[in-house]
Structures are given as structure tokens and as C-alpha cells.
Structure 1
Amino acid sequence: MSNEKSEKLGQLNKFEYLDHTADIMFHTWGDSLEEALEQVVLTMMNYMVELETVELDDTATEQTISVQGHDMDSLLFALLDEFLFVFNTEFIIFKQVTIKSIDKENFTIEAIGKGVELDKSKHTTGTEIKAITYSCMKIDEKPDRTDIHCIVDI
């Protein structure tokens, strides 16, 4: 990805889309678990709406997303599912995501999403995501890099 395109996407730059039968797999990474989680939410948003067409302006809104799971996979599922729910019900495209806190013992995450309402006259839409799945879900956390793989139903 060129630096120019990387700058247009803002903080989304550590991801790739991998083909999977009738679905799509996201592979994201970051220097930390928090960064990899931020990337996976933005990767999902970018799949539905090209984030380079989204500008955060004075109409931008911030939403706090708090989720809980019973293990790390269910926590990742809950995070993506909640952002997808907000997109589908409030039509908010999140272009910035910050993980404010993560508790790996009680399996909770608090994230802040910043975005704008979908406007098809300004935003290039991609493919609808129907659901998050547990299929092939993997969080590989190492001291200097975390990789996340997950498949979504399209």
C-alpha cells in the first residue's frame, strides 16, 4: 500500500483480506493486542465502506463500546459484533478506534469509536457483512506483535 493511500486511511494500515469460501478472512496485526484489535475493527469497517472516502469533520461522533466475553475469542467476537450492530442500526462508519482498556482476566474491553453517518453520495460502499463467526478465529499475542485472524459471513 502506498504511503499516500496509507495516510488517507488514517490509522488503518496493518491488515489484509484473505479469500475464504463464501466468506472473507481478516488478518490484522499490531505492535500490541490493543493495536491489533483496533485494526480488526477498522478492517471490518473498511470492507463495508472504503474508509479513504470517509472524512471526520464537525459532524463526527464518538461512541463508547463496552463488551464482555468468557474468553479471548468470545471477547473479539463481541467487539466486532457490537461495532457491526452500531453500523447496521445507526449507520455510523467508524474511521478511528481506540481501545481504552482491556481486561484479559475478566474478558472486558472498552473502546472509543469515532465516525460519521453513512452518506452514499460521499462514501464508497463495499460488501455487506452479515455476521461475525468463530470459524478460524485466532489471536496470536507475542511480546512485540499480535496477529488476529477472523472470518466474517458476507
Structure 2
Amino acid sequence: MKPFEYLEHTADVKFRAYGETPEEMLSNAAAALFKTMVDPATISVKEAWKVALEASDLEDLAYLWLSEIVFLFETESAVFASFAVSLERCVDETWRLSGEIGGERIDLSRHAFENEVKAVTMHQFQIVKNDHWCLQAILDV
């Protein structure tokens, strides 16, 4: 199973990310998001950023996760190449995500940007569980 694939879309970037577990799916979705911006082969993991999120359901949590990555890119002037995710289903049925994102500060001599992701959209955003987990998202570029 491939980690993600890009789909045809008129103006924005649409992708599907896959995983055997929801954690793997979320990690692959983050990799798909970032690959739309910069070649991950040009990124060294020199620093780590911790992420802690909570949401009422897995779909909302996935949206928050991807949006947080865009936020960190913008506010930390950093590019990312590794995405570790741990999930917890709470007693009250909410979901918690603990993540660690690895990367480095932007170096324009090495990081050539292909697209600028402005936002993750809710349009056609969905998670489906069949034989494996699948997240579909559209990125506003």
C-alpha cells in the first residue's frame, strides 16, 4: 500500500493518505501535505516540535493536525520531514493526539518551494475505514 497519492483537482491540491492504523494514516497525510510544498529529500531532521491536540472525533482531530502543521510552518519558518503520531481514545469519547514533527529551519539555498499551502479545507475532507484507513483532503494553495 502506498502512503499517499495526489488526485486531480482544478485549482488546489487534493490527496488521499493511507495507513494500516489511524496513526500511520495521519503521519502519511502530514507527509503528503508537506511534499506539496518542498521536496522532503532536501530536509534534515535537526529539531523537533511537539504537538498536543484534542477533538470530539477523529476527523476533526485530523483536520486540526494538518492545520497545526501549516501553522508551525508559517510561525516557526521551518520545514518538516518526519511525523510521529500517537492517538488516545478518551473515556468521554474524545480523541487526543500527541505528535512530534521533525525538521529544520528554512534554508532557501536548499529548500525550493513548489506550492504555498494557505490552508487545509473542510471541503471533501473525510476519513474512511475499510481494509485500511484513508484520509482525503484538499489543500488551498
Question: TM-score scaled by structure 2?
Answer: 0.90
Q: 1:53 to 1:109 in 2, by over 3 A?
A: same
Task: Confirm whether residue 140 of structure 1 aligns to residue 128 of structure 2.
Answer: yes
Distance 2:65 2:14 in 1: 16
The one-letter code sitting in structure 1 at the alignment partner of 2:138 is I
CA deviation digits over 1:49-94, x for unaligned, max 9? 11011123xxx11111111222222111100111110001111211
CA contact (8 A) 2:37 2:117 kept: yes
Distance 1:69 1:21 in 2: 31
The one-letter code sitting in structure 2 at the alignment partner of 1:15 is F
Distance 2:86 2:49 in 1: 12
The one-letter code sitting in structure 2 at the alignment partner of 1:147 is C
Task: Confirm whether residue 91 of structure 1 aligns to residue 97 of structure 2.
Answer: no
Counterpart of 1:43 in structure 2 is 32
The one-letter code sitting in structure 2 at the alignment partner of 1:44 is L
Q: 1:72 to 1:100 in 2, by over 3 A?
A: closer
Of the three residues 99, 102, 106, the one matched with 2:94 is 106
Distance 2:88 2:72 in 1: 20
- Report SS of the residue matched to 1:78: helix
Task: Confirm whether residue 53 of structure 1 aligns to residue 42 of structure 2.
Answer: yes
- Report SS of the residue matched to 1:111: strand
Of the three residues 15, 24, 29, the one matched with 2:18 is 29
Moved more, 81-90 or 96-105: 96-105
The one-letter code sitting in structure 2 at the alignment partner of 1:137 is F
CA contact (8 A) 1:94 1:116 kept: yes
CA contact (8 A) 1:100 1:112 kept: no
Unaligned runs of 5+ in 2: none
Counterpart of 1:80 in structure 2 is 66
Counterpart of 1:14 in structure 2 is 3
CA contact (8 A) 2:87 2:95 kept: no
Distance 2:25 2:35 in 1: 15
Select the structure that is richer in strand: 2
Unaligned runs of 5+ in 1: 1-12
Q: 1:89 to 1:36 in 2, by over 3 A?
A: same
Structure 1 stretches of 4+ moved >4 Å: none
